[in-house]
Amino acid sequence: MNNPTRYEDLGLVNTKEMFKKAMEGEYAIPAYNFNNMEQLQAIITGCVQSDSPVILQVSGSARKYADPVLLPHLVEGAVAMARHLDSTIPIALHLDHGNSFELAKECIDSGFSSIMIDGSHHPFEDNIRLTKEVVEYAHERGVTVEGELGVLAGVEDEVSSEESHYTRPEEVEEFVGKTGADSLAISIGTSHGAHKFKLKPGEQPPSLRFDILEKIERLLPGYPIVLHGASSVSPEHVAMINQYGGNLESAVGIPAEQLRRAAKSAVCKINIDSDGRLAMTAMIRKMFAEKPEEFDPRKYLGSAREELISLIKDKNMNVLGSAGKA
């Protein structure tokens, strides 16, 4: 790429100010993943209508799906859409689970304002080295960086792990001190995907490890913490998917009360991907089942988009507490 795009030129901000306000105000910034135009429209509309700051989040494979050249233009358009709606909500564009310096650099040079570099699968020293390298390149350009310590179970695009390893609080100070990362994703019992726990009938999901979170908060006062794999997996959407020909038995997520508790703590960013996928899939399945003669993508994607807007407004208002905070 010969002419790097600066995120400021796309109308974006980094996450620094957002996290500072979220920490002081005891809420969390939503990071919604997207791959296509309808999801992006829904995120902007839902966050404008609830007056919430927002992090638009794409994984490496989502970026490929949308097309790396098209993506920054889509996002620039999304910012223009928000401003046209007379909204000044701060908007960041974040790479989810960046796995190499090269990918991080490419994203920074194409207009991303925030980068996650996930070296959590590497040995501790290698994770530090990789994260530090990305931080140096990013900070020179005003881009914020999220690191990760601990491993979440589950599958998320290219990232998958059989087992989770909780974050070891004794590692966090050294990691943050040596890398200069602006925020840290931790593992306290959340996991990627729609099947977060294997539960027996009637059994409740286990609590997140708030004791680990509290230890980390004591070691790094005022430092922004990030939760991945934090979808709640709405039973209504799962039931709808199953009713209309899907097969998502035993899908279960993180109870909203636990996310509300986390949002009030040092957790400043909560990632939501699976919940949006489920909402869209439920509506599309319903439309296909009820109107088999329908073949206009605007009809079924339109109803999916509406459902996603309601979900986003509900999350911002009732779970993250970010509504009205822009």
Active site (annotated) includes residue 96: yes
Q: Which of 249, 267, 250 is nearest to 258 (CA)?
A: 267
Judged by CB under 5 A, the stretch of 53-61, 86-94, 208-216, 226-234 that binds Zn ion is 226-234
Quote the least distance from Cβ 98 to Zn ion, whole Å: 11
Indicate whether 277 belongs to the interface with Zn ion (CB under 5 A): no
In the complex, least distance from residue 171 CB atom to Zn ion, rounded to whole angstroms: 19
* Residue 259: Cβ within 10 Å count: 26
Total residues at the site for Zn ion (CB under 5 A)? 1
Query: Residue 63 or residue 228: which is nearer to Zn ion going by CB?
Result: 228
Task: Choose the stretch contacting Zn ion; rule: CB under 5 A; options: 41-49, 132-140, 222-230, 252-260.
Answer: 222-230
Question: Which residues, numbered 286-315, are part of the site for Zn ion (CB under 5 A)?
Answer: none
Q: Are 75 and 11 in contact (CB under 8 A)?
A: no
Least distance between Zn ion and beta carbon 83 (Å): 29
Measured between alpha carbons, how far is 48 from 181 in angstroms, rounded to an integer? 29
Contact call for residue 228 and Zn ion (CB under 5 A): yes
Q: Which two tokens stand for residue 55?
A: 């992090």
Which residues make Cβ contacts (< 8 Å) with residue 242, sequence separation at least 6? 248, 249
Q: Does 196 bind Zn ion (CB under 5 A)?
A: no
Whole-angstrom distance, CA of residue 130 vs CA of residue 128: 6
In angstroms, give the least distance from the CB of 81 to Zn ion.
26
Output the CA–CA distances (angstroms, integers) from residue 1 to 106, 111, 177, in the order listed: 8, 12, 32
Please identify, using beta-carbon distances, which residue of 105 and 228 lies nearer to Zn ion.
228
Name the DSSP letter for residue 270: E
Check 9, 96, 273, 275 and give the catalytic one: 96
Residues lying near Zn ion in the complex (CB under 5 A): 228
Catalytic residues: 96
